[in-house]
Amino acid sequence: MTGPAEPWRTWAGDESCVPAVWERPGSVTEVVDAVGRAAARDQTVRVAGSGHSFTPVVLTDGTLLSLERMSRVLDVDTATGLVRAQAGVSLNALSETLWDHGLALENLGDVDVQSIAGATATGTHGTGARLRNLSAALVSVELVAGDGTVHELSATDADGGDAWRAARVSVGALGVITAVTVRTVPAFVLRGLDAVEGREQVLQELDARAAAHDHFELFAFPYAGRVITRTNDRVHSEPRPRGRVGAYVRDELLTNKGFEAICRLGRARPSLIPRLNRAATALGSAPAHVDRSYRVFATPRSVRFNELEYAIPREHAATAVRAVLAMIEERRLPISFPLELRTVAPDDALLSPAGGRETAYVAAHVYQGMEWQPYLREVEAIMRSFDGRPHWGKRHFRTAADLKPAYPEWEAFQAVRDRLDPGRRFTNPHIAQILGP
Ligand SMILES: Cc1cc2nc3c(=O)[nH]c(=O)nc-3n(C[C@H](O)[C@H](O)[C@H](O)COP(=O)(O)OP(=O)(O)OC[C@H]3O[C@@H](n4cnc5c(N)ncnc54)[C@H](O)[C@@H]3O)c2cc1C
């Protein structure tokens, strides 16, 4: 199905493009045909997920493919936990189907509206010291390459699994992923608890907290001596879904509308931000939320922002958070969003930011309509001093030349890229900047 040219835009709203052709294939054959048509027109191709990356990674003036018509769960094997799904399925829709079969994704980030292919392509992760990013659950990947051939990539391939390890975190630079097989776990219930605690004490206890809980993260507002901690643990009890009113008050009024009002006020009167941040921190505790895993992991998000997130060796986590907060506070920067700190276990995808090392992710956000580049450049400089690697879906200023030394298996990824897309059908200026021509 080919649509008329219309604008495509990111969730944050500040990156957009008008593709020459926008295709919505409904099958692998239709994807192959669409790639063939783009080649005949000598156009590059990008695939859009749900637009939740902050960077211009999806943008194209050539052919844009949307897999919204390829969003079905194809097969559920409850005995092995292996589940086959089309690449356009959202994490939420997948989780709902899995729950009905007594299964779940092992971990999720803080939203679940992304497509499975889009989320894994950028190394999307949740938090959990023993848990890897989402792409680590991909047992096999079906991909349409630059010449229109269809490949099923897995660990047991003749290339030693290199193409599979490349395709799990591909940044959309290898081809169109059309389906994936995911390893799932038995369905579980989480008890989520948000609390307000002293900043320095939590930073000192970081390793112990991360080790003691299934999922631990913190939010540190600049200018506030306290942080909000979020602790999610598996419990053996039935879900206790919050009533509609309770969920509305917590998620919509306090988390979204309340926080939006605070951010707006801070944008209009930056001198108020230190006081507003202390008030926002105080609002951070919440009663325990016991529910299906994916309903505790993910929360609705309506406050728009720009974000950078860096993966750094875990041992530097507390020092890095302190360094960014000190930089903000010394320079009196008008930052109304908290730093977010999460932990992720190492994995073996060739371009995974958490690849090969125990990782802490540090994220910095800037409210929409506020200048984000100078601050995020400063944060990036601090993260680079800790040997950081940027999240592929979030703002950063790196180039292929300086990313290459950060990835021991960079050349192996490029060799797979040369094999699957030698003519560079799947590129755009951003891909050329971060992965090279
Ligand atoms: C509010 C919000 C919350 C977020 N929370 C988290 C979080 O908790 N943890 C985290 O790690 N990240 C988080 N992110 C980042 C987000 O998970 C990633 O940017 C993710 O890649 C977005 O998925 P998407 O489906 O929107 O893909 P898009 O952003 O649309 O695309 C991402 C990349 O995937 C490629 N792609 C998409 N589909 C295909 C396909 N079928 N074949 C080949 N390539 C494809 C695209 O070309 C692009 O390169 C968040 C982002 C937002 C806006």
Average pLDDT estimate for 352-358: 98
If one compares 263 and 100, the residue with the highest pLDDT of the two is 100
Q: State residue 141 phi and psi, 5-degree precision.
A: -135, 125
- Classify the phi-psi angles of 280: left when phi > 0, otherwise alpha if psi is within -120 to 50, otherwise beta: alpha
58: Cβ below 6 Å to ligand 1?
yes
2-66 CATH: 3.30.43.10
What confidence tens digit (pLDDT) does each residue in 27-38 have?
999 999 999 999
Q: Is 60 exceeded by the pLDDT of residue 150?
A: yes
50: Cβ below 6 Å to ligand 1?
yes
What confidence tens digit (pLDDT) does each residue in 106-126 have?
999 999 999 999 999 999 999
* Cα–Cα distance measured from residue 345 to residue 358, given in angstroms and rounded to the nearest whole number: 5
In ligand 1, which atom is closest to the CA atom of 46?
Answer: 47
Can you tell me whether residue 233 is helix, strand or coil?
strand
In ligand 1, which atom is closest to the CA atom of 12?
Answer: 53
CB 287 within 8 A of CB 356: no
Question: According to CATH, where is 3.40.462.10 located in the chain?
Answer: 189-390
What confidence tens digit (pLDDT) does each residue in 296-347 have?
999 888 899 999 999 999 999 999 999 999 999 999 999 999 999 999 999 9
Residue with CA at minimum distance from ligand 1 atom 8: 109
The CA 70 to ligand 1 mean position distance, Å, reads: 17
If one compares 412 and 247, the residue with the highest pLDDT of the two is 412
Question: According to CATH, where is 3.30.43.10 located in the chain?
Answer: 2-66
At residue 411, the pLDDT reads 98
Q: Is 60 exceeded by the pLDDT of residue 407?
A: yes
* Cα–Cα distance measured from residue 351 to residue 404, given in angstroms and rounded to the nearest whole number: 10
* Cα–Cα distance measured from residue 375 to residue 331, given in angstroms and rounded to the nearest whole number: 10
CB 88 within 8 A of CB 45: no
Instruction: Please give the single-letter amino acid code of residue 110.
Output: D
At residue 301, the pLDDT reads 87
Q: Which of 24, 122, 372 to mutate to test the pocket of ligand 1 (most atoms within 8 A of CB)?
A: 122
44: Cβ below 6 Å to ligand 1?
no
pLDDT grade for 2, boundaries at 50, 70 and 90: low
The CA 197 to ligand 1 mean position distance, Å, reads: 31
Question: According to CATH, where is 3.30.465.10 located in the chain?
Answer: 73-186
* Cα–Cα distance measured from residue 279 to residue 291, given in angstroms and rounded to the nearest whole number: 28
Q: Is 90 exceeded by the pLDDT of residue 165?
A: yes
11: Cβ below 6 Å to ligand 1?
yes
At residue 286, the pLDDT reads 82
How far, in whole angstroms, is CA 50 from its chain's centroid? 11
Q: Which of 31, 45, 50, 53 to mutate to test the pocket of ligand 1 (most atoms within 8 A of CB)?
A: 53
43: Cβ below 6 Å to ligand 1?
no
189-390 CATH: 3.40.462.10
If one compares 348 and 246, the residue with the highest pLDDT of the two is 348
| Percent of the chain's residues with pLDDT above 70 | 97
Q: Which of 47, 416, 431 to mutate to test the pocket of ligand 1 (most atoms within 8 A of CB)?
A: 47
The CA 124 to ligand 1 mean position distance, Å, reads: 7
125: Cβ below 6 Å to ligand 1?
yes
124: Cβ below 6 Å to ligand 1?
yes
Residue with CA at minimum distance from ligand 1 atom 51: 52
In ligand 1, which atom is closest to the CA atom of 87?
Answer: 41
CB 228 within 8 A of CB 281: yes
Beta-carbon count within 10 A of 152 CB = 12
What confidence tens digit (pLDDT) does each residue in 25-74 have?
999 999 999 999 999 999 999 999 999 999 999 999 999 999 999 999 99
Q: What is the 3-state secondary structure (H, E, C) of 189-225?
A: EEEEEEEEEEHHHHHHCHHHHHHHCCEEEEEECCCCC
Evaluated on CA atoms 399, 121, 408, 309, the torsion sign reads positive
The CA 406 to ligand 1 mean position distance, Å, reads: 22
49: Cβ below 6 Å to ligand 1?
yes
393: Cβ below 6 Å to ligand 1?
yes
Average pLDDT estimate for 179-186: 98
At residue 242, the pLDDT reads 80
Q: Tell me which fold the domain 73-186 belongs to.
A: 3.30.465
* Cα–Cα distance measured from residue 290 to residue 234, given in angstroms and rounded to the nearest whole number: 9
What confidence tens digit (pLDDT) does each residue in 230-260 have?
999 999 999 998 877 667 666 766 678 888 8
Q: State residue 136 phi and psi, 5-degree precision.
A: -65, -15
At residue 4, the pLDDT reads 55
CB 71 within 8 A of CB 114: no
Average pLDDT estimate for 392-421: 98
Any bridge partners for residue 193, and if so which?
Answer: 231
| Mean pLDDT, the chain, integer | 95
What confidence tens digit (pLDDT) does each residue in 82-109 have?
999 999 999 999 999 999 999 999 999 9
Minimum mean pLDDT range among 18-22, 58-62, 283-287 = 283-287
At residue 256, the pLDDT reads 80
pLDDT grade for 391, boundaries at 50, 70 and 90: very high
At residue 254, the pLDDT reads 66
117: Cβ below 6 Å to ligand 1?
yes
173: Cβ below 6 Å to ligand 1?
no
The CA 123 to ligand 1 mean position distance, Å, reads: 8
In ligand 1, which atom is closest to the CA atom of 171?
Answer: 49
